[in-house]
Amino acid sequence: MRTNKFLIFFLFLFLNLWIWKIFFEDFLIFSILIVITVASYKKFITDRKKSLVLVQLLMILLTVITQYLTTSISSLTELTNDQIRIRDMRLREYPPVFIRLGAKTLWLPVAYRMEARPESIAIERIQENIFESLDINQYFFASHPRQRVGVKEFEKFPYILLPFFILGIVKLINNKDYGFIIIYLVLPILFVAFVGNKNPLGNFSVFPFLLINITVGVSSVFYYISQSRLINTRVATLSFFAVLVLNLLQSLAYETY
C-alpha cells in the first residue's frame, strides 16, 4: 500500500488549483512548498521517531518564514475610521455600570475595557485571524458564503475532497498523531493569528498539513475499497479521478472568468 499512498499523494500534490496559482505567482515559494510537503509526507509515512521532531519543526519554520515575508502584516490594535465608528456605536449600547458607596457613586468603565482597550482589540483580532485560518470554506469553497473584503478568494482544493479531509482528521486523532497536528497545523495558525491573513496566495503555511491529511483520508477509503468484493477497485479509482479532474477544471474556469 505504500506505493499507492505515494502515488495518491503526488497526484493530489498537483491536482489542486492552489499549488498552480503559487507556481505562476512565485516559483520560489512553489519550490519550497513542494520540497517541504514531499519531505514531510515521507517522514510521516516512514519515520515516527521523536528525534525527527526537530527536523519537522525546522521545515515548518521555513514555511512560516516564507508566509511572513509575503504577507501584508495587519496591526492588532489599529482601527480604520469605519471600525472606530462601529466601536463607538457598540460603546453606546452598554448600560452605565456603577457602585454606590454611601453618598458617592463609583462609575466603572466596563464598556471601555470590553471594547476600546488595546488589549481587548488585539484579542478580538487574534480570534478573528484564527477562525479565518480554520474556516474550511476558505480552502474548499473560496470562503463562500463569507468572502472577505479586499481579498481575492479562490478555491484552493477541489470541494469533493472535503469528506476525505474530515476522514483524515478522524484518522489522525484515532492514531494519536497529535505531534503532527501541532507542528503542521496549530503552529502555523498561531503564527498567522498574530500577522493576519492578508496574503494573495492564502495561508499556504498549512498546505503540507492539508495535503497530507487529504491523502490519509483518500488512502484509507481506497484501502477499504481494495478489501471489498462488492466494489470494482479499478472502476472506482478511475471514476473518482475523473470527477476530481472535472472539479479542478470547473475551479480553473471560475478563476479564469
* Best CA proximity match to 68, nearest among 168, 240, 193: 193
Q: In this structure, are 87 and 194 located in the same domain?
A: no
Between CA 155 and CA 130, with CA 29 as vertex, the angle to 5 degrees is 55
93 and 170 share a domain? no
Same domain, 59 and 31: yes
Nearest-angstrom CA–CA distance, 118 and 125? 10
Same domain, 104 and 125: no
Identify whether the C-beta of residue 203 lies closer than 8 Å to the C-beta of residue 197: yes
The predicted model scores a pTM of 0.85
- What is the extent of the structural domain holding 149? 2-75+117-256
- Between 107 and 186, whose confidence is greater? 186
Of the chain, the percentage scoring pLDDT greater than 90 comes to 33
The percentage of the chain sitting over the pLDDT mark of 70, rounded to a whole number, equals 95
Query: For residues 143 and 141, what is the distance between their CA atoms, to the nearest angstrom?
Result: 5
Q: What is the pLDDT of residues 76-124, one digit of tens each?
A: 888 888 888 888 888 888 887 778 777 787 777 777 777 778 888 888 8
Domain total for the chain?
Answer: 2
Task: Judge if 129 and 162 occupy the same domain.
Answer: yes
pLDDT on residue 230? 72
Q: What is the mean pLDDT of residues 166-174?
A: 93
Average pLDDT (160-172) is 93
Task: State whether 105 and 153 are in the same domain.
Answer: no
Q: Which residues contact 179 (CB under 8 A, 6 or more apart)?
A: 53
The CA-atom distances, in angstroms, between 114 and each of 45, 74, 82, 88, 193 are 47, 21, 18, 12, 20
The pLDDT score that the predictor gives to residue 166 is 94
Give the tens place of pLDDT for each residue, 51-75.
567 777 888 888 999 999 999 888 8
The answer on 18 and 87 residing in a single domain is: no
